[in-house]
Every structure is written in C-alpha cells, then in structure tokens.
Amino acid sequence: MKICNLQILTLLVFSTVTPVSFACSDIFINQANAHIEARSMDFGVNIADNDIFGFVGQKNITDVIIDADKVPANQLTSWTNKYGYWARPAFNTSKADDGMNTQGLSLSGLYLEDVTKYPIYDPQDKRPVLGVFDMGSYLLSQAKNVDEAIKLIKSHQIIQSAIQVKPGVFLKNVPIHFDLRDSTGNSAVIEFIAGQVKVYEHAGNVMTNGPTYPEQLALAKKYAAINKAQAHSLDGLPGDFTSEARFARGQVLLRNLPQPYSHGEALYQADFVISSLSVPFLATANHGNTSNTIWRVLKDLDNKVVYTNNVVYFQGGNKIVPTDITSGYTKIDLNNIDFSAVPQEFENSTIQVTPADQVKKIIRASDLPEFGE
C-alpha cells in the first residue's frame, strides 16, 4: 500500500458534531483479547495534524539546541532505525510526539504545565545525551516493548531541548509528559520533575495533564467506590473539562466497560471513552489552560493499525474550521507499508544536528503570538 493512498474507514457515523476533548487525554483498553489506546490532541494552535513515518535504516543524531555548545559531539546519541513507525510530530518537524511502531509499542506526549522541569546537561554524567523532544522518535525506532524503552531511557542522559516552529526560531521546554504502552498490556509514564527523569512502571490505563502522575493515582482512589449503577449516569463525577475531571471520568468509564468480544468492539469502546472526555467548540476555549481538540487517534497495538481523525484545523490565529463530519477515521495499517524502502518524500525526514548559525532565536511558548491570550 502506498502511504499517500491510505484507506478510509468510517468507524462511526455521527449525526451531530462529536464532542472533542480538552488539553489532551489518553486511555487504554487493556484486556486479554484487545489492547487499544486512544488519545486526543487538544491545543490552541495546530501543532501538527500530518502523519510522519520512520523507516528502517534511516540514520539520526539528536538535536539538543539548548546547550548544544556544551555537549561534546561524541556524546550526542546517534541511531539507525531498527523498526518502522507511524507518528504525529511536534509541530511540523521529524520529532514524534505520538506514535506506534511495527512491534506494537506506542508513545504519547501530553502537556504537563507548571511542574515540568527538564534536566540540564551534566558534564559529569558520561551517558549518551538525548534531547527530550527526540525521545519519541528514538524509542519508537529502537524498542519493541515498554520494558526495552525503559532500559533505553535509563541508559541515556535526557536533557532539555527546543523545537523548531519556523525557520531559525525554536521553542524551548514545552512541558510534556509521556506514556508508553505495548501489545502485552504493559504501560509506563515518564515525567520530568525538578530536573529529574521520573519513570513510573506498570502504570494505569488513563493519563491526562496535571497534576503529576502520583497525584493522579491519589485522585483515582477518590472515585474508586463508584459502582456500575452510578457509572451509568456518572453520578458523583465532576463534569468539567479540567485535567482532574477528565482523568476521573476516564477511570470510571474504563472500569465499567464490558469485556469486548472482538477488536472491533474494543475500537468502538476506545472511541466512545475518548469522545466522552471531549471539549466542544467553545468560544471560551483556546485561552489559559482550555483548548479544543484538533485530532484524535486510535491505536490497535495487537494488529499494528492506527486510526486518525482530524477533528478541526486552524487557518491563521485561532480561527477554527471543522472538518467534514462524515469523513470518519483514516486507517493506517503498518503491515501494508514497506518500511525497508524509504519513499522519496521521507528521505530527508530524519533528525539531524541544526548548525549553530541556523538557530536565530530560542523562545518560550508565551513569546509566540499564537500562544498568547
């Protein structure tokens, strides 16, 4: 199958505008017969609604940007892709923010504001250096499961970095935490707190934004007693769009789902839950910590199939244009892509060191006009 001729699959036909979620949510249907992850991307600007692919044999080297003059060249992590993968990038770069590889390993990056502080380069630490925003592409291309990914994380010095948002302009320290999931049902959460890498192994099946993952687990206990009768009406659950509310709803809904009898039913369940954590097109959205969903993804980790749904896109500033409501999901079957052959359009889609003279400005998110109030 050619990448440019992806099959359209209408999983659901909606008669009304589907609610879309706020500030990123991620859930995992983790059953013996089905491992389906669903996530939403909610952001005030269109950071990327395109698909990128990593191909076996492509060569990369981490691009740290920040402190690039302090890190010896021989300490920069370089790698050759072992596994092919699909991904959604961070802005229009080659850096994976969300993706799945041919082995059924999935990675998702979600916003974690206020508490995220990335490590800085430590010259006393002799481990290979990996820029934090290159971690997604690196893990998807090198690890076949969560355990392998965790070993790779621990064997590297992961440091602060920046993402190119337009020629010569780089956005630093966008606050992200990541979850990793695989086709065995294993999960992990990676956070960067007080300059330290925090790895939470055997993690749960829901992740949103703040607070930190340990605090989210404490929140989950608050709603653990809600029984199936209450879950039917969500009686007792918060109904707002805060990260805490979405986390609580996701926990209760997943806990009360019936055992899926097929992958098809599990896909419906995943889409149902991620839609229920959604934010509609609100006039008050895209201000402060509230953003409309711009796309959703379902990932079938068992069959290595991705379903993408671009809910809305942006045309200048915060103008929102809904997509065709009948368009449904686009199916991307990784089994039908020859990852041993690099198409011409992806020959230059690797990660490479940016020459110093091409880094004109490093800014914060608040410096971008599109990010402001």
Summarised one tens digit per residue, pLDDT across range 308-334 is 987 765 544 454 555 555 557 889 999
Q: List all residues 6 or more positions away from 371 whose beta carbon is below 8 Å from its beta carbon.
A: 44, 45, 365
Per-residue pLDDT, 49: 66
Domain ranges of the chain: 8-368
Helix (H, G, I), strand (E, B) or coil at 274: helix
Query: 32: buried, middle or exposed (CB in 10 Å: 19+, 13-18, 0-12)?
Result: exposed
- Which amino acid appears at position 3 of this protein? I
The DSSP secondary-structure symbol of 348 reads T
What tokens does 95 get?
A: 């850096």
CA atoms within 13 A on the CB side of 343: 13
More confident residue, 294 or 231: 294
Per-residue pLDDT, 315: 45
d(CA 105, CA 83): 10
* Of residues 27, 42, 299, the one with CA closest to residue 179: 27
The DSSP secondary-structure symbol of 73 reads G
Class of domain 8-368 (CATH, top level):
alpha beta
d(CA 199, CA 122): 19
Mean pLDDT of 352-372: 79
pTM for the model: 0.88
Give percent of the chain above pLDDT 70. Answer: 80
Q: Give the helix/strand (H/E) hosting 162.
A: strand 162-166
Q: Taking all residues of the chain, what is their mean pLDDT, rounded to a whole number? A: 84
Distances (CA, A) of 305 to 36, 102, 210, 297, 332: 10, 9, 29, 11, 6
Q: Give the helix/strand (H/E) hosting 228.
A: helix 228-233
Helix (H, G, I), strand (E, B) or coil at 119: coil
What tokens does 51 get?
A: 């698909």
Helix (H, G, I), strand (E, B) or coil at 166: strand
- Res. 283: pLDDT tops 80: no
Per-residue pLDDT, 19: 31
Per-residue pLDDT, 345: 87
d(CA 142, CA 169): 29
The predicted-structure confidence for 48-89, as pLDDT tens digits, reads as follows: 568 899 999 999 999 999 999 999 999 999 999 999 999 998
Helix (H, G, I), strand (E, B) or coil at 169: strand
d(CA 340, CA 54): 10
Decide: 57 and 340 in contact? Cβ < 8 Å: yes
Distances (CA, A) of 51 to 54, 62, 89, 92: 10, 21, 7, 10
pLDDT bin (cut points 50, 70, 90) of residue 149 is very high
Mean pLDDT of 130-149: 97
Mean pLDDT of 100-120: 95
d(CA 181, CA 150): 11
* Of residues 108, 86, 90, the one with CA closest to residue 45: 90
The DSSP secondary-structure symbol of 311 reads -
